[in-house]
A and B are shown apart, each in its own frame.
Chain A
């Protein structure tokens, strides 16, 4: 009660003051409310987009009681109750038999209803060749499957031979009423259009599991075999565990609703978004910076408010109020405005998230979950907003309690001298920031977190040093023209109002400059190390699935879109599966880095055609061609080694995951060639004769398209068409290093920087202008022209913007340069690595985004000054002071 009693008058004054000074109150509401709004909206949207096991249960197991799945495990398995994590166990006994319906019924009882659910890929004939949509074998009329798919048009399949397809597959020439032919021959009638309730935009067909689908899927094509289980009483945790012993997993409605105690769960849960200490540190730093930014931006408004209340506070002091009472009055305005801002921000954030759902769904393939507002998160964010408001009011409150009562009552507008210790501590923090950055830069093994922490220290140091800088500038302003001199001196006199704004600009610019330098340096490294995937301008159709696509159909698609193009198949040894093929040099080599291998579908390419796309030029290309012609294996130079032979080894891995056995090992004549850059394009190129002689499984692995320029429109069309033939197929066009990501990052940084710099500058400028009203009245009385006010306004904006930006840039350069050391270190590349142009690699890359820095430090403050000058009222308040 005593606590409330002490605060009651302060809160009353604060509430009335907030209503009286509406403009300033709205400013604070925006400063504090907007970040709260943004974070609450984002949090709500993220929670709505992510679908938890419970939320997604009907989508996953339909109307059944449990989904029992088998993914080919030959051992007992383990799982968490919600199946968020699953694991197999080591082979210690005979492999388990493949479970069947009877295995499931042996655990769950004879009378259990099981609806089979097969998922796999099958090949469908299209106008262009073959398409490989995902096939789901399930009887959608079974109540157990209700909720897996939404019917959009037509009807559900009633018998075998009827299927429904997704919108995407329908758009490839399979509307309702059409017939599709499977590669194996059977024909299926399309009777409806459905959409998965989990993921949108998939190419899918769904039909009852009959001989046609079962045969078409075939065992190797079945990715997962499952049953939707319905039985009275559901499936218990002990039954789930028993199914696990047969190599099956189960997601049970009853278990999810009533999970077993942790003591009964043996599987490790890896699914949670467990945050590492590094990530926690980064999150902490981001939150601290955001809080600091809000405090600094809102600070000037509280400082001005406190000075407006100076006389009232002095009268209170004269009437017996003690410094804590006076502090409370200013702090209470933080409390009142902070509470209002966070409440409004939180409510508006939830509203914005609600309104944004359709937009988010439009760009997300995952079907959104139910609208979910986390009360806990919202309260935490609102509390952070309230704390920032209180912190913003704290410094003005302390100053207000220290002001000279007699001076205030006698009408003198005195400003309390800043404490001597603050610049000293600021300088210490700055020094610690610089030292921390240097330590982080030179520390082996990545010091990004250290540098980020050092950056925060440096920014805090800047905040404390800013008043000193402003004071010094005020003393040096004697030679400036009147408007600029007035602005600089006034800014220096009213440090409690100006310093937070300048510091807010400085903190923003420091962050943007540091991140900008990090981003562009990273991009510079990427550019220097960029290894093209194909010759410049050429296209490359890549496939990442084990099943080869219909290459003839792919070629047809390419020729349709690019009539003048030349196509060249790339052939290579088929990798993956149970066999492994290796080519090694009989010498110890440095670590191999393969750049193009994965893009060409194999690390062992076959035949001279492959040489054209591997980046070999001039003499090296001629040597490689000669070598292949003479039956030599072409091996890409892994460091400074010499060799004239290479070993070809064939290993065989048993299907159950046991030890590999060596099937054969041959020593072959070899020629070493090298390409510029830090990685080799492939392990080796084999002559066709070698592949043939050693019975290596050679197939087409990629298709190179040359001879014409490929527009982005043609690229999109071909990409779409080959994607229809094989989900994993895509077209890549080599256009050199594309730096769109960095450009976007820089643009976002520039936008954030511009908004915050503008916000800080405009706030402080207009507060200063309103504060300087009596001085403008005096100037008007002694003959100042109307434009004087505009010139002073522009000068204010220029002072705050330029000083803040210059301080921020100076501070931002330190962590910015420091972070390039761990970020762009090239120690991994080996001593002989070069850039893609063949130049020696530097130990790190440094590229300063001068346009961004110049724009923020010079252009933006000057532009703001011009805008403020043009936008501010020119009329001087003539009689306000006199009356």
Chain B
């Protein structure tokens, strides 16, 4: 399987001098097509920094980020934006839906930003909404949608247009277990269809949906496992 995301010796230092904070200290990670990697670790371990660097939203202090063979360090802001529109899908913890856009428009936003016409983009948006089970909500604004519908809409935006890399930052953090499971099922399906995925999570039962789990501590990958037991058994294990 070909590598979609390659992180090499990533270091990210916020601030300088005595107040410098080392968020990542030489982290390396490769995620291949069809693979979903869960990243776990305590708060401040560098999980979110990893994700922002992987998505090209931030630049590393040192090291390289490569997406589908393209190293982000060599890209202009414009080219990095284009890469995000076409290749990277993001699911945020609080969904970050734009209140001024309807569900269909929010989903189609990356495509519209990429130059698709209003109608074409809308058609794509309308096409993606049934995949997440809310086709009838296409013309609703985010504040008209329920707490269970908003994450689905956000997930649809991350997968629209055949993205090869899906990054999810605790996408189930604020959800009930049923809705959370729907989001993870969608993510898994996307990876099974050939995309690479990175899932940042605190919960082992969510990490169980991944092919492997990377544990971070103080900006370093301290452990890595294969697939965890499936979500169902993990849930039962925790109940016991």
Contact = CB atoms under 8 A, between A and B. Distances in A.
A781 B99 contact: no
Contacts, number: 90
Contact of A781 (B82, B92, B100, B105): B92
B52 A882 contact: yes
Nearest to B53: A879
Contacts of A744: none
Contacts of B83: 783
Given A411-B94, A775-B100, A879-B52, A786 B143 contact: no
Nearest to B94: A411
Given A780-B81, A784-B81, A785-B78, A879 B57 contact: yes
Contacts of B179: none
A882 B99 contact: no
**What's the interface size class on A, roughly?**
20 to 34
A783 B118 contact: no
B202 interface: no
Nearest to A775: B98
Contact of A778 (B85, B98, B105, B169): B98
Nearest to A786: B77
**Most chain A beta carbons < 10 A, residue from B81, B96, B97, B105:** B81
A782 B57 CA distance: 10
Nearest to A491: B100
A783 B110 contact: yes
B81 A785 contact: yes
A486 B105 CA distance: 10
Nearest to B89: A782
B34 interface: no
Contacts of A823: none
A341 B88 CA distance: 49
A493 B157 contact: no
Nearest to B57: A878
B113 interface: yes
A486 B97 CA distance: 13
Given A878-B57, A879-B58, A881-B92, A783 B114 contact: yes
A639 interface: no
Contact of B84 (A481, A490, A782, A879): A782
Contacts of A420: none
A778 B91 CA distance: 10
A883 interface: yes
Interface in A847-883: 875, 878-879, 881-883
A783 B167 CA distance: 14
Interface in A778-822: 778-786, 788
Given A411-B94, A784-B81, A882-B169, A486 B100 contact: yes
A881 B77 CA distance: 18
A3 B80 CA distance: 57
Size bracket of the B interface: 20 to 34
Interface in B80-125: 81-86, 88, 90, 92, 94, 96-101, 105, 109-110, 112-114, 118
Nearest to A875: B77
A781 B114 contact: no
A479 interface: yes
A493 B52 contact: no
B52 A782 contact: no
Chain B at the A interface: SS class: helix
A411 B94 CA distance: 9
B92 A779 contact: no
A786 B78 contact: yes
Contacts of B112: 482
A882 B100 contact: no
Q: Which of A411, A479, A778: most chain B CB closer than 10 A? A: A778
Contacts of B55: 781
B48 interface: yes
A479 B98 contact: no
A774 B98 CA distance: 9
B57 A780 contact: yes
A783 B113 contact: yes
B170 to A, nearest CB: 11
A783 B109 CA distance: 9
Nearest to A881: B96
B110 A782 contact: yes
Contacts of A411: 94
Nearest to A479: B118
A642 to B, nearest CB: 78
Contact of B143 (A414, A478, A481): A414
B94 A779 contact: no
Interface in B102-158: 105, 109-110, 112-114, 118, 143, 157
A230 B57 CA distance: 90
Chain B CB within 10 A, most for which of A478, A783, A785, A882? A783
Given A774-B96, A785-B77, 18 more contacts: A411-B94, A412-B143, A478-B118, A479-B118, A482-B113, A485-B100, A486-B100, A775-B98, A778-B96, A780-B81, A781-B57, A781-B90, A783-B88, A784-B81, A784-B85, A882-B52, A883-B48, A883-B52
Interface of A: 411-414, 478-479, 481-482, 485-486, 489-490, 493, 774-775, 777-786, 788, 875, 878-879, 881-883
16 contacts: A486-B100, A486-B101, A489-B100, A775-B98, A778-B98, A781-B84, A781-B96, A782-B113, A783-B114, A785-B81, A785-B113, A786-B78, A875-B77, A881-B96, A882-B48, A882-B52
Closest 6 CB pairs of A and B: A783-B85, A489-B100, A783-B84, A778-B96, A878-B57, A490-B100
